[in-house]
A and B are shown apart, each in its own frame.
Chain A
Amino acid sequence: MPYRPFVLPQLPGYAMDKKTVLNETHREMGARMVPFGGWDMPVHYGSQLDEHHAVRRDAGMFDVCHMTVVDLRGAAVRPFLRRLLANDVDKLKVAGKALYSCMLQADGGIIDDLIVYFLTDDWFRMVVNAATTEKDLAWIKEQAKGFEVTVEPRFDLGMIAVQGPQARSRAEALLPQALRAPAMALKPFSAAYAGEWFVGRTGYTGEDGFELMLPEDDAPGLWRALAEAGVRPCGLGARDTLRLEAGMNLYGSDMDESQSPLTSGLTWTVAFEPDERDFIGRSALENQRSAGSLARFTGLLLEGKGILRGHQRLFDGEREVGETTSGGFSPTLERSIAMARVAADAGEQLTVDIRGKRLPVRRVKMPFVRNGKPCIET
């Protein structure tokens, strides 16, 4: 058949069709399932557009059980993470606070992006991407040698993201009693836990909400209860358009080992201060910074009709200046948007090659949409 596959990053070499604990539930509830990074995941439950709007306007939920929770414990966990991550966990002063960071190779290439939570002086928790889990764990364990730290992937935990302006209020009653008040009191980018249930006020949509970690066996019951409470089940399709509108990078599309945070719009996540913190990749990033003329990571708005996708070539006049890294239709803006990497001296008005035609695109500051509202002029 001529249909090009749903292009999301898939790393080779992993067993296909792994199933999350919610797989049967998705099928019973009418999801269309597709392969995604070695997992059999729901792409939508009928209409990706309706799911997208549900998250922007009300509440939706995503199966993110394929992502991996990693607990790091030990007396040396803080110094270890200050070495491992490009962002500085010393910014985390209050128990429960979260930090977004890249994990870099020595040459500055991005191994993965992740969220790390500070829980106690000898316990931090990370959430890493699904497709990168094996290489991440190998890397982390290798780097942990010589530190008094244990690295424990929590494959026993499931994860459900509940997102949207009404997400927290819909989820509240379904949390364990002991977690309700602490969860509702959370500030953005912080977490609380009770027993094996863990709630972070975090997400990947540009909306308010929770990411819930819980014992796998409890996940199907919570999924159904959330649906009954009016939280719309959503697939990975809506997750992709929501994160794109929110200006949030997707590992494997917008960055990988061949790019550094400085060329991926993630300079803000690199803590160069204090000077003496020697994180992995630091000297490479300093060299890149002093060499200058680094590629710029930018948002793009397609001026006319059509759809931007990843890996479309960009031109400033007749000069090729870069390419889109991911793109698509923005359901909120009803226009096509993209993320792109372009030469340092590329102009603001560019053209994109779509099937041999040059169409005008305008560089815009991301995010495109946040908390239900457009952030750019269309």
Chain B
Amino acid sequence: MKTRFTSKLILRISDTWMVFTEELRRIFHDPGVLVLFFLAPIAYPILYNYIYIENVIRDVPVAVVDMDCSPESRLYIHQWDATPEVKVAYSCTSMEEAEHLLTKGKVHGILYFPEDFNDCLHSGLKSAHLSLYCDMSSFLYMKNVYMSANQVMLDKMYQIQVDRYRAMNMDENLSWAIVQAVPYEENTPYNPTNGYGAFLVPAVLMLIIHQTLIFGISMLSGTAVQENREVFFLPGRRRRYSVFRILLGRGAAYFTLYMAICMYVLVLVPHMFGLPHVGSIWDIIRFIVPYLLATIYFGMMIASVYKQRETGMMTLLPTSLIFLFISGVSWPTVSVPRVWRYLGDLFPYTWGVHGFLNINTAGATLYTTIREYIALWLLAAFYFGLCCLIYMVRSRRHEKRLEEGLDQHITHEQKMRELQDLVHETEDKMTREMERHLNSLWSRTKHAITRAPED
């Protein structure tokens, strides 16, 4: 009894090993898949890092319209110019001029000082009103212009008030205590410059892993279906109850390759390009194990839809943006409508990217981000189960067709294509034959002609 069990186990392991090596062989013999599995994950991170290397936008050109021309307004302009966010590029004499610059895209903000700016400040009877016009063509321009102008305004506001109290012979500390009773200080512990690149690129790295894996898997299984190979059977066998071994073997092949690729994309790249990488490497490695497994079986489930080599990539390409937005990275999770949030929870990327950002950027431990870790294991199990179901149903259908003697279950289209191939081949053969024939004829004639005078 025991020996029978062990021999069965050995058989199963050797079956799985066979699927594993067969899948690796297919991957390495398919140039299209090699591009997706190796070239894209190597090239994309470098390219994206280079695009966002500046990380933050500095010195956005702005214009000022100073109708007051007082020392106060000049000082304000000077201070605004001194902020890292903007650069006062133009000083205009009229609003029309400044608006013209704005519509031409030369400046991205206008600050307007009315004539009574100085008078209001000094009389203390009326607030001085400034008008700020923001270019809304980019969120980051607006943020820079708006935040820097406000920062200067706040500093100025507190200073004016303190000066007024000081003029009433009040002690400096006391006047500050009245003017700004509760000062605040801000800390940005993770991604300290609030940079766009440092935020987006780590999320894109996870997306690259996810998408190349899914595209590659759908290309592999699409090709197999197209070439009429048995996807649902063990290679070379015609018995169906081997779904488990197939799924395990194929999954192990992708997993082994992608563990190595993840080392480069998720560990090496953040170090190489100075992206935030405060988390422990060991935690990242442990975290990507369920992420890869969930993604692999999610990908295999999706791939089972495709019957052609290229169609998977074509239809799935725009999903990259959907994954990015539904995960709550680009757009805050709490603002994602509930329906989409529930749908997003079914995608491994949603959990994967949050966990990775928490560990890599915010320095969380695996224990802190345990929710994402467990969710990924659950998803991996869920998609593995779904894949089992799909493969079982389809292999049964396949087997039935084999039994019914429809061994050559070739569709009309494929038959046509094969016929066409045959025609082309025959054409080529005939052309070659003809050429050979003509050539020999020609050489014989030439021979005859050259020999003729001798005779």
Q: Do A and B bind each other?
A: no
